[in-house]
Amino acid sequence: MTPRKSAANKAFDLDVFFEAEKKKIETHLERVLPRAEARPADLCAAVRYAVLSGGKRIRPILALEACRAVGGNERDALPAAAALELIHSYSLVHDDLPCMDDDDVRRGQPTCHKKYGEVTALLAGDALLTLAFRVLANPDGLRGATAFARRLRATAVVAEAAGLHGMVGGQAVDVLFKEKEPDLPTIEYINAHKSGALIAAALEAGAILGGGTPREIAALAHYGRSIGLLFQVVDDILDREGYAKVIGVPEARKEAEELLERAKRHLAPLRAQGRVLEEIAEFILMRTS
């Protein structure tokens, strides 16, 4: 990606930013994941495989940047960032199972159940979801009632986004329509819940943990919902599925551009502090994979 100019008129290379953030997040993930030699051996290996076999780390990156955008210390958002990636990883393991999407390959490698078997993959997903909330609930390093209250609130936001009224609910509707063509409102529901909810939660949780004002938290939550939908619409365009299949690629591209502009408008209260998030939204629109 060609470096752009930031609000401070300094060169900003998003690729360099992403790489640095990924290293930071993966270092933290290594701290919370079971050791390679831990028991039960196959289950721990499957858990590590599911998390460490690639990925953009977009959700944890968004959580950290939202924290920084409201003036917070990124260290306060690292547990939530790690938890979001664990939840995302569990969802992919379960999505790939034969009873769901029945995929054999993810990111150019065998899916978890192809490498370790269905039972171990199922349990690995369960373990990852449970571990995510252990990481979120761990009080180590928290000081004072305010920090505890912020962590508790962020945990509730992540739980809501991951569960019945978020990602799991969206997956249920997606499975229901697996053998038939969904209409546009159904596709929008699936996109907003299965894919978009956890992205929106990353922004909202990061802003809460960073001590954002109610206006800032609301702005980042709305931005998150917009880019969550944008992410899925772009996926649909690339795959010629879902949204793009129903309304056509040109209309889907138009919708994606409108979502980008909407996301940028939501960042207005943050002024220059929202510039990196604006760059990320533009990256999501222009990505090719």
- What pLDDT shows up at residue 65? 97
Within 10 A of 195 (CB to CB), how many other CB atoms are there? Answer: 20
pLDDT per residue over 164-211, tens digit each? 999 999 999 999 888 788 888 999 999 999 989 999 999 999 999 999
Contact 277, 69 (CB under 8 A): yes
Within 10 A of 46 (CB to CB), how many other CB atoms are there? Answer: 25
What is the rounded distance in angstroms from the CA atom of residue 96 to the CA atom of residue 47? 14
Residues 6+ apart with CB under 8 A from 85: 25, 29, 51, 55, 57, 59, 60
Residues 6+ apart with CB under 8 A from 115: 46, 49, 109
Q: Is 197 left (phi over 0), alpha (psi -120 to 50) or beta?
A: alpha
Output the average pLDDT for the chain: 92
| pLDDT category of residue 243 using cuts at 50, 70 and 90 | confident
pTM for this predicted structure: 0.92
- What pLDDT shows up at residue 9? 41
- What pLDDT shows up at residue 137? 92
Domains and CATH numbers, the chain: 14-286 (1.10.600.10)
What is the rounded distance in angstroms from the CA atom of residue 176 to the CA atom of residue 170? 10
pLDDT per residue over 39-78, tens digit each? 999 999 999 999 999 889 999 999 999 999 999 999 999 9
